[in-house]
Structure 1
């Protein structure tokens, strides 16, 4: 159950961080204004809070593992929201990152 909770928290964190960054991007680059940017800043704050809920007590481990989730999640966001089409190297890199997440977070430790 701890692994499932951890994965759910990583997914929620990715949604908050990537979504927040996208909202800021829309506010600035697409000239959608301060409300979009403000919503993005709030979402980024939610990301910071969600990361603290991970069951592992080590900040460095969680942030390192989250980096892999961020890479894969960003590509997926691009596909779903911006119509981005990743190539085989994007997908290969994302899979490697997710394997790294699994090793960092869920490998048996003595």
Structure 2
């Protein structure tokens, strides 16, 4: 709407996001680790996207938070389990 797009454009985007949320419920129980990895990568890509296209300069808290998220991904995904 901000770029003078038709109203139904936003509706389609909202439906796509809703469907995306439902698809995660159809996955097997071990999907949690894959989804966690996706979340960490999503955080990094969001920062990079904003730097490239919005001329955003992340501050130290953005960088530290991103590193903490990636560390969490590593702990969850790579931990040795019985």
State the TM-score bracket (shorter-chain normalisation). Answer: 0.5 to 0.7
- Higher RCO, Cα 8 Å, sep 6+: 2
Correspondence for 2:63: 91
Structure 2: gaps (5+ residues): none
Q: Deviations over 1:34-86 (max 9, x none)?
A: 2431242243145322x4576x6157x45982554443333223223322111
* TM-score normalised by L of structure 1: 0.49
Q: TM-score, normalised by structure 2?
A: 0.60
Distance 2:25 2:78 in 1: 17
Give yes or no for the alignment of 1:106 onto 2:75.
no
What is aligned with 1:79? 51
- C-alpha change, 1:84 and 1:40, in structure 2 (3 Å) is farther
- The answer to which structure has the higher helix fraction is 1
Structure 2 vs 1, CA of residues 40 and 58 (structure 1 numbering), >3 Å: closer, same or farther? same
Instruction: Output the aligned Cα RMSD.
Output: 3.2
The answer for the alignment partner of 2:13 in structure 1 is 40
Give the paired residue count.
79
